[in-house]
């Protein structure tokens, strides 16, 4: 860049802003609180013109310290406070918010669309919602028999209905040290396995925050100054152990994408499966899959680095089954 790449746009005294979400390139929302404990009012800060002008308002009640905000589009978003067993939802881009009770102290939450999300409590219990945070159901606990019973979570990040990561630390029963911990699920949060973190045999400390961009790329930061990167090298992702009762082609993610996206599909019984990419004129531009498949959920990473921007179509065929999904490459 040859100079400064981050510019200060606003400074407000006696404020601590703790989370930010970009709803569009122009519309950004940040949340936090006043610094002094006895004036610990929750604050929402928002711009609709890319940071030229900002509007701040007090949110919820005078004791709320807002620590998390997420939007999945320009209208639907959520805010969480660590001091109150509530989560707030907006359906109109932050003009109004509705509060819902949560079944305990959520350490982190993660939504993948307008209705489906996950949360993790400080005791590593994992919850799921299918109605945008109105109600929550406990589905698992991240339990590791080799470690002090469970993960001590700091963050959670899902990229689709099956794949998610939880970040934090764990301890041994007989040692006082904390060790960095990252756990992954490939069945929607019902089972979790610990992932290896680099080659550090000690691996002390904890993972303070993590964010997955998609199923093959992610970042995490640690309290000992380390920054971790997750990247799946192979173009073909693993096949999760999940039975399917029908054939289905799911919507690719992310979408729009640049340059790579994950294509996920279900196979009901052993069959020949063919998946190809067509352009907007209906011409086949790539054949991704043409082989016999076992039953289950399968994934494939499609890299479109050599393709032009535009709308393409994924076409899946298996016997008499055929399904088409549109996807957008935006460079």
Query: What's the confidence (pLDDT) of residue 259?
Result: 84
Q: Is 18 exposed, middle or buried (0-12, 13-18, 19+ CB in 10 A)?
A: middle
* 11-20, 38-47, 304-313 — most confident range: 304-313
Per-residue pLDDT tens for 160-176? Answer: 888 899 998 887 665 66
Q: Is the pLDDT of residue 100 over 70?
A: yes
Distances (CA, A) of 197 to 72, 164, 222: 29, 16, 11
Per-domain residue ranges for the chain?
1-99, 102-233, 248-329
Kindly report the number of other CB atoms within 10 A of residue 183's CB atom.
24
Fold of 1-99: Thrombin, subunit H (2.40.10)
Among 16-30, 75-89, 118-132, 230-244, top mean pLDDT goes to: 118-132
Pair of tokens at residue 314:
């994924």
As a whole-number percent, the residues of the chain with pLDDT over 70 amount to 85
Q: What is the pTM of this model?
A: 0.65
Total number of residues shown for the chain: 331
Spell out the residues 6+ positions from residue 38 whose beta carbon is closer than 8 angstroms to its own.
Answer: none
Supply the pLDDT for residue 104: 85
Q: Which fold has domain 248-329?
A: Immunoglobulin-like (2.60.40)
Indicate the pairing of strand 179-185 with strand 193-194: antiparallel
If one counts every other C-beta atom within 10 angstroms of the C-beta of residue 272, the result is: 12
Dihedral in degrees, nearest 10, Cα atoms 80, 82, 86, 92: -10
Cα gap 146→170, rounded to integer Å: 10
Fold of the domain built from segment(s) 102-233: Neuraminidase (2.120.10)
Give the per-residue pLDDT at 67: 82
- pLDDT score at 260: 83
Q: What pLDDT was estimated at residue 200?
A: 57
Give the separation between CA 114 and CA 194, rounded to whole angstroms: 29
pLDDT, residue 176, reads 66
């Amino acid at each position: 860049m040859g100079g400064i790449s981050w510019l200060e746009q606003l400074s407000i005294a006696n404020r601590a802003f703790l989370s930010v979400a970009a709803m569009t390139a122009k519309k950004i929302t940040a949340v936090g609180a006043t610094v002094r404990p006895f004036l610990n009012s929750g604050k929402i800060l928002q711009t609709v013109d890319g940071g030229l002008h900002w509007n701040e308002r007090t949110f919820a009640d005078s004791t709320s310290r807002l620590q998390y905000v997420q939007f999945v589009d320009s209208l639907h978003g959520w805010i969480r406070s660590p001091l109150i067993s509530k989560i707030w939802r907006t359906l109109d881009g932050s003009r109004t918010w509705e509060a819902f009770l949560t079944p305990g102290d959520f350490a982190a939450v993660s939504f993948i669309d307008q209705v489906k999300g996950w949360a993790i409590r400080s005791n590593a219990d994992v919850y799921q919602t299918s109605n945008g945070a109105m109600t929550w159901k406990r589905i698992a606990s991240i339990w590791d028999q080799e470690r002090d019973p469970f993960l001590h979570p700091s963050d959670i990040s899902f990229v689709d209905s099956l794949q998610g990561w939880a970040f934090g630390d764990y301890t041994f029963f007989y040692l006082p040290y904390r060790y960095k911990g990252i756990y992954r699920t490939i069945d929607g949060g019902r089972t979790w396995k610990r992932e290896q973190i680099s080659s550090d045999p000690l691996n002390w400390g904890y993972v303070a925050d993590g964010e997955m961009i998609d199923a093959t790329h992610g970042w995490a930061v640690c309290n000992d100054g380390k920054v971790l990167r997750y990247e799946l090298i192979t173009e073909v992702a693993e096949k999760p152990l999940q039975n399917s009762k029908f054939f289905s082609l799911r919507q690719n993610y992310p979408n729009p994408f640049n340059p790579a996206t994950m294509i996920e599909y279900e196979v009901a019984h052993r069959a020949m499966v063919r998946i190809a990419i067509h352009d907007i004129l209906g011409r086949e531009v790539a054949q991704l899959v043409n082989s016999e498949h076992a039953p289950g959920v399968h994934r494939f990473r499609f890299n479109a680095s050599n393709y032009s921007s535009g709308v393409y179509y994924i076409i899946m065929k298996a016997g008499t089954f055929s399904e088409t999904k549109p996807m957008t490459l935006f460079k």
